[in-house]
Structure 1
Amino acid sequence: MTFNPLEQRGIPLDRQLRTWRELDVEPIDPDHCDPYTRCRIITMNGIETEAVMFSHQFARHCPDPEVKRQLAQVRYIEQQQQKAVNWLLPGLASVLETTIAYEQVAVDLTAWIARSEPDPYLKQAYEFGVLEDFDHLYRYANLYEMIEHRKADTIVEGLTEVMPGRPTKFHHRHPEDNVRDPYDRAAASPLSKLHALTVMSAEQQTMNFYMNVGPQYMEPIARQLYQEIALVEEEHVTHYESLVDPGETWWEQLVNHEYNECYLYHSFMEQEPDPRVKAIWELHLNMELEHLRIACELMRRHDGREPQEILAPELPPVLTFEPNHGVIRDLLDTQIDLTTLGAGYVRDAHERFQRLQEQIHGGEEPPSERVMAQHREQFGGEYRWQPSGEHPDAASRERKE
């Protein structure tokens, strides 16, 4: 059944404010929940956080006090939504358990978007990034077993493989080579715009999470690994945010943000098996329909355009969390040795890449390699999970010199 959010009426804004009791949501049970329920929660936390931060940036650049007041009203509700969503995560889960779930999001969300992206250049950007998130999952899984003596498959439950991707030590590139070419806002598919905004928001939330939780560990190797991967997440946010056309007006961006929230809440409501969490997705969708209506009115009034000029006439097929074993393995076979040069991709290590590698590693092995060495010393090998069969160890493939 098609769903056009522009034709739907949501909850009036003055009825969206929730009490403390309503915001005090019961968290999921980490030992019995669907792993993808946790992934949907983490994704929507990133989406709501981006909505709030975008609204703040818009307000700081907006001279119209009436618009600033309108943004503030909607933003307060978005803040409540973010609290309800993020507080679904259980307090008894450790930081590392949540980290592994964050990387499961990065792998399966980005892989699904890469499969669904109609633009070949944007598709390549997502395929490139997902192999790096895949390796981060592998490194954190080994750290998890070292520190907490538990296996990452108790969290991802076989839905996402745990094995080497593009080695993290090769993720460190010159900042210039993290900037991609943007899509053309006048020609890009509406779906491409939603994809770019979704992955950017998710990676941004991951970057912020690692920036803040990394120093909470006492173990030196844990502090160091979070520091290294947090820097890679900076590269990823640059990589994905540069895909968005900077020529989009503030009003256009506001409408895209609200439309994307409708799309994702609708997608997750359609597939959520937990009835209590599904009710939150449905409630927030009905709130976002009103936020979208307000954004469209602001666009008409201040940009002089109809939202239909930039939006799809109906929501795309639902975004789905599902296993991507075959997709990832195909990328490991064909793209493991890629790096970036300018706005493109190359297989050979170029001078700028090698210079940055020498500068940041300082002739030593980075934390992502040392955590593996410590795991091998402690357990006699590396931790990985595959459903069956063997696959070539991607970590053993060295980049061409």
Structure 2
Amino acid sequence: MFNPLDHQGIPLERQLRNWRELDVDPIDPLAADPYTRCRIIALNGIEVEAILFSHHFARTCTDPEVKRQLAEIRYIEAQQQRVVNWLLPGVPSALETTIAYEQVAVDLTSWVARMEPDPYLQQAYEFGVLEDFDHLYRYANLFELIERRRAAKVVDDLTEVMPGRPTKAHHRHPVDNVRDPYDRTTVDPLSKLHALTIMAAEQQTMNFYMNVGPQYMEPIARQLYQEIGLIEEEHVTHYESLVDPGETWWERLVNHEYNECYLYYSFMTQESDPKVRAIWELHLNMEVEQLRIACDLMRRHDGREPADILAPALPEPVRFEPNKEFLRNLLATQIDLTTLGAGYVREAHERFERMQQQLHGGEAPASERVIDEHRAKFGDEYRIETAGPHPVTALRGEKQHA
């Protein structure tokens, strides 16, 4: 397997690009593989997290030389983020892009949950993905309701669209969104990469909804973005709390850079678009050098060898692929879970019920009303089911919707 510690990347002084090089051609929205778009969105989230982390590090750092090194790398990361995010075309609406964001959340988190070696961390991803799955369903109904367009044009037949854990039930008391962290001294290095990846993806989604929601005029759209945007804040809390707070800044810096190498390498090996694949390869070679610098900083200021905390080689590449059977199994076994403290329970508890009453006040939230409005206009809700009846409604004998 590829080990970025064994390779030389592009020297940092050669990584700066001019405007012409940054002005990349976007993908064709009609011809592109939906998973190419997913890889773009996922890597944008990773680059945004790298930039924000570097800024936070710089604000606590007292060494001027280190601050200058962070600033130099951060500027290159900012260029990388622009190139990645600018691969998205300007044609799709914010809502169409939102559906793509939720496809990323569903299939990336599902893959991580399937590969996660730690049972407690695996449960955290399984719990979260059933909520993203339901968000995709709610937004898909909004998409047809206000734009008269079908989510199948965005997700193809790769990801199903149907109810998950009802969005209304995602609103929990904030203290019940904090999980127990992994132990940095004993955890599998792969688990660190998983936690960083999903935290960054959810953080990007939270920020996106915070900003695009008020751009809509339709009340139901504004209200749905507000509701799901608050749940994405819960998800960021959920995932960021998995990371051991005892990791030093230097350790975190190395983990961030190593994770970027991991994801660029993973997506480069899977990418079907040659133009996009060339960008993943270029950025991987940049990240290898940025990782080398981070490792040198860790040795100098933390007194430890980065190899002691990293995997000896990159794990099995992350893949975007359908997860229909996996998700249907989760729907059949975990749809009624909620959280209590750092754990999970099946029965609604007093704190959960109080939060539900305070927030909803006996009224149906936007996530429920968007389905009602879709049914009123089209006679049914919008779903994409490609592998048989919904595992929960089938058990209950409820009517299926095409």
Do Structure 1 and Structure 2 share a fold, with TM-score over 0.5? yes
CA contact under 8 A between 1:164 and 1:395: conserved in structure 2?
no
CA contact under 8 A between 1:166 and 1:395: conserved in structure 2?
no
Instruction: Report the CA distance between 1:390 and its aligned residue.
Output: 1.6
State the alpha-carbon separation in 2 of the partners of residues 125 and 393 from structure 1.
21
**Aligned residue number for residue 314 of structure 1:** 313
SS in 1 for 2:339: strand
Matched residue type, 2:203: Q
State the alpha-carbon separation in 2 of the partners of residues 338 and 307 from structure 1.
38
- Given the alignment of the two structures, is residue 3 of structure 1 paired with residue 7 of structure 2, yes or no? no
**Aligned residue number for residue 122 of structure 1:** 121
- Given the alignment of the two structures, is residue 194 of structure 1 paired with residue 200 of structure 2, yes or no? no
**Aligned residue number for residue 326 of structure 2:** 327
Matched residue type, 1:317: E
State the alpha-carbon separation in 1 of the partners of residues 197 and 395 from structure 2.
32
State the alpha-carbon separation in 2 of the partners of residues 394 and 383 from structure 1.
15
- My pick for the range that moved more, 358-367 or 381-390, is 381-390
Matched residue type, 1:191: L
State the alpha-carbon separation in 2 of the partners of residues 251 and 156 from structure 1.
39
**Aligned residue number for residue 14 of structure 1:** 13
Instruction: Report the CA distance between 1:393 and its aligned residue.
Output: 5.2
**Aligned residue number for residue 363 of structure 1:** 362
**Aligned residue number for residue 97 of structure 2:** 98
SS in 1 for 2:344: strand
Instruction: Report the CA distance between 1:389 and its aligned residue.
Output: 2.5
**Aligned residue number for residue 381 of structure 2:** 382
State the alpha-carbon separation in 2 of the partners of residues 363 and 315 from structure 1.
50
User: How many residues align structurally?
Assistant: 396
State the alpha-carbon separation in 1 of the partners of residues 244 and 152 from structure 2.
39
CA contact under 8 A between 1:191 and 1:316: conserved in structure 2?
yes
- Deviation track 1:207-265 (CA, whole Å, cap 9, x = no partner) reads 00000000000000000000000000000000000000000000000000000000000
State the alpha-carbon separation in 2 of the partners of residues 302 and 162 from structure 1.
49
Gaps of 5+ in 1: none
Instruction: Report the CA distance between 1:5 and its aligned residue.
Output: 0.4
**Aligned residue number for residue 84 of structure 1:** 83
Instruction: Report the CA distance between 1:363 and its aligned residue.
Output: 1.1
Under a length normalisation based on structure 1, what TM-score does the superposition of the two structures give?
0.98
Instruction: Report the CA distance between 1:396 and its aligned residue.
Output: 11
Instruction: Report the CA distance between 1:30 and its aligned residue.
Output: 1.1
CA contact under 8 A between 1:167 and 1:394: conserved in structure 2?
no
Matched residue type, 1:346: V
**Aligned residue number for residue 265 of structure 2:** 266
SS in 2 for 1:112: helix
State the alpha-carbon separation in 2 of the partners of residues 385 and 393 from structure 1.
15
State the alpha-carbon separation in 2 of the partners of residues 26 and 391 from structure 1.
40
Matched residue type, 1:245: D
Distance of aligned partners of 1:87 and 1:273 in 2 relative to their CA distance in 1, 3 Å threshold: same
**Aligned residue number for residue 352 of structure 1:** 351
CA contact under 8 A between 2:331 and 2:391: conserved in structure 1?
no
**Aligned residue number for residue 139 of structure 2:** 140
CA contact under 8 A between 2:195 and 2:240: conserved in structure 1?
yes
SS in 2 for 1:340: strand
Structure 1 runs (4+) greater than 6 angstroms displaced: none
